[in-house]
């Protein structure tokens, strides 16, 4: 298994492509948007440059990693030689089902189809393919090149052979795989998202301000980042999407998104990606642009 296709060149997709390429795999990075592919490669290059400056890798290793990545904007062409496909598109069930139907038609029999979904049912995704035993969840954490954990999620029909293969493969990437079962949110987001949602509820109810809530959790609970800042980093739209999946899956009101979160997403305040969420990132972005002019 030396050829891996990654669907989606966004934050998770380019991070997954970077990780496989740095481990010596030939990577086909696929996205319908040429601009997304360009930005994805730029991000990978910047991250590799940072690793070179920290002497984590050499300049030669950086060049080799980049040479291992080829970009495509057509799924059929991109997966032609792949032994494994990892889908890392937007956390949208309709989009993922569409992609997996395409993958099932384009990929030869026996190819493993993995999804980086952080909450959507693996069994449901597998149901639109003719190979449900070869569909599995491979949930990387962000930032992918740094974070060690990979949640490996078995669908109802995922075979032992496929599960063992992906567990072993994750270890070759220097990751620590943890096998979990197929329920909404799996383990990571089933625990994390209610905490973030409750933090937003605490703000919404006027118990304390943004800075105060984050400070309590950082200093009192030894969290490296406050929950509201973390939500900004994840993307408030992503948080809302995951909570909706969990609420629909369990029909339990404890997973219902806070009205404040819903309104912020409607208003386009999505966190870092939009320049504003619970914190205002516009000034830091301006500073970055000014700094780049003198580099």
Q: Which of the residues are catalytic? A: 118, 139, 151, 189
Alpha-carbon span 157 to 170, nearest angstrom:
20
Alpha-carbon span 141 to 286, nearest angstrom:
28
Residues with Cβ within 8 Å of residue 255, at least 6 apart in sequence = 193, 194, 197, 243, 246, 247
Place of tokens 């509820």: 201
Q: What is the CA radius of gyration of the chain?
A: 20
Q: Beta 149-154 vs 135-140: how paired, if at all?
A: antiparallel
- Asked whether 265 and 242 are in contact (CB, 8 A), the reply is no
Degrees (nearest 5) of the Cα angle 65, 107, 37?
40
User: Would residue 185 be called left, alpha or beta, if left means φ above 0 and alpha means ψ between -120 and 50 degrees?
Assistant: left
Question: Within 23-80, where are the H helices?
Answer: 34-53, 59-67, 75-78
Residues with Cβ within 8 Å of residue 136, at least 6 apart in sequence = 112, 113, 114, 115, 122, 152, 153, 154, 155, 158, 162, 163, 166
- Asked whether 29 and 70 are in contact (CB, 8 A), the reply is yes
CA dihedral 238, 29, 34, 99 (to 10 degrees): -60
* CA end-to-end distance (rounded Å), the chain: 41
């Amino acid at each position: 298994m030396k050829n891996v296709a990654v669907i989606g060149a966004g934050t998770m997709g380019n991070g997954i492509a970077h990780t496989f390429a740095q481990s010596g795999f030939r990577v086909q990075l696929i996205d319908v948007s040429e601009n997304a592919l360009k930005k994805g490669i730029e991000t990978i290059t910047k991250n590799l440059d940072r690793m070179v400056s920290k002497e984590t890798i050499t300049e030669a290793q950086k060049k080799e990693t980049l040479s291992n990545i080829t970009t495509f904007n057509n799924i059929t062409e991109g997966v032609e030689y792949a032994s494994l496909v990892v889908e890392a598109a937007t956390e949208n069930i309709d989009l993922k089902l569409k992609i997996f139907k395409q993958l099932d038609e384009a990929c030869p029999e026996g190819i493993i189809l993995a999804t980086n979904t952080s909450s959507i049912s693996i069994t449901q995704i597998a149901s639109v393919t003719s190979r449900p035993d070869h569909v599995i969840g491979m949930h990387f954490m962000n930032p992918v090149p740094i974070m060690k954990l990979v949640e490996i999620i078995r669908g109802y029909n995922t075979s032992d052979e496929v599960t063992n293969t992906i567990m072993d493969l994750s270890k070759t990437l220097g990751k620590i795989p943890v096998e979990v079962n197929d329920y909404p949110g799996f383990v990571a987001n089933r625990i994390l998202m209610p905490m973030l949602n409750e933090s937003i509820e605490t703000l919404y109810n006027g118990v304390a301000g943004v800075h105060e809530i984050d400070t309590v959790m950082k200093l009192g609970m030894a969290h490296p980042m406050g929950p509201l800042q973390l939500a900004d980093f994840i993307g408030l739209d992503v948080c809302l999407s995951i909570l909706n999946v969990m609420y629909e899956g369990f029909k339990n009101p404890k997973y219902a998104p806070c009205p404040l979160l819903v309104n912020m997403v409607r208003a386009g305040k999505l966190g870092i990606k939009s320049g504003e969420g619970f914190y205002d990132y516009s000034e830091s972005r301006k500073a970055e642009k000014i700094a780049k002019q003198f580099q």
